[in-house]
Structure 1
Amino acid sequence: MTDNTPHSAAWFDLSSPDAPRARAFYGELLGWPVRVLDETYALVGDDGAGQPTGGIGQAGPDAPYTGLAVYFRVADLDAALERAVALGGARRLEPQPVPGGGRLAVFADPDGNAVGLLGE
């Protein structure tokens, strides 16, 4: 998670029904370093400081979304998620802890696009 500026894009996540294929495709296409954590998730990209900029995960039958989601940093995760719902969004992934601190959540915007939030 590279940018601490509120409301900035801070992370991306690609949820694929074939994560090994997606890791190989994007790693080769964009020259990303890929660090596989386990059979379900890998960290990818590098912001020049040795930090990943996103991840590619295995979408299972209960995955909250498939495809690409961009995560935006917010000061108050719960308030931002409630505001998204009040504006017509729908919760997809309830707040979850993030290794290293903070939490993330995912909602669908009114068009069905998965959007992530990172915050406290």
Structure 2
Amino acid sequence: MTQARHSHAPAWFDISTPDADRARRFYQEMFDWPVKAIDATYALVGDDDGRPTGGIGQAGPGSPYTGMVTYFRVDDVGTALARAESLGGTRVLEPAETPLGRIAVFADPDGNLVGLQSP
């Protein structure tokens, strides 16, 4: 039996919280993650080699969400976001450029937040 290959593997995770300092300390202690602050509101966390695999950010009054979002690789964020909406998803974070590529976030029909990331 052959195993199916999925092209949309998890690419990044993001934790948005009202107390980013506390969350950084918690996850650093919990998983021994290296944490590198980019600025006062966002820090990258990495794997054992120090490569960033996610981030922890400060959620403010205008933040589109709080909690954890897993980002999945897609060929085109705009196309994937439109597909999610056509299937009953709701746009939460408009497509935006970041140093790691283009991102967006939607809520699935059950309210679960899902991120999209493309180069």
TM-score strictly above 0.5: yes
Which residue number corresponds to residue 77 of structure 2?
77
Query: In the alignment, is residue 19 of structure 1 matched against residue 20 of structure 2?
Result: yes
Q: Distance in 2 between matches of 1:111 and 1:40?
A: 29
Q: Distance in 1 between matches of 2:58 and 2:89?
A: 24
Runs of 4+, deviation exceeding 4 Å: none
Q: Distance in 1 between matches of 2:49 and 2:21?
A: 25
Query: In the alignment, is residue 107 of structure 1 matched against residue 106 of structure 2?
Result: yes
Q: Distance in 2 between matches of 1:16 and 1:72?
A: 21
1:6-56 CA deviation, whole Å, 9 max, x = no partner?
30000000000000000000000000000011111000121x443111000
SS state at 2:8 partner:
coil
Which residue number corresponds to residue 30 of structure 1?
31
1:41-85 CA deviation, whole Å, 9 max, x = no partner?
000121x44311100000111111100000000012111000001
SS state at 2:44 partner:
strand
Q: Distance in 1 between matches of 2:36 and 2:46?
A: 9
Q: Distance in 2 between matches of 1:105 and 1:76?
A: 10
| % identical aligned pairs | 63
Contact 1:6 1:75 in 2 (8 A): no
Q: CA RMSD in A?
A: 1.3
| Number of aligned positions between the proteins | 114
SS state at 1:6 partner:
coil
| Unpaired segments ≥5 residues, structure 2 | 1-5
Which residue number corresponds to residue 62 of structure 1?
62
SS state at 1:78 partner:
helix
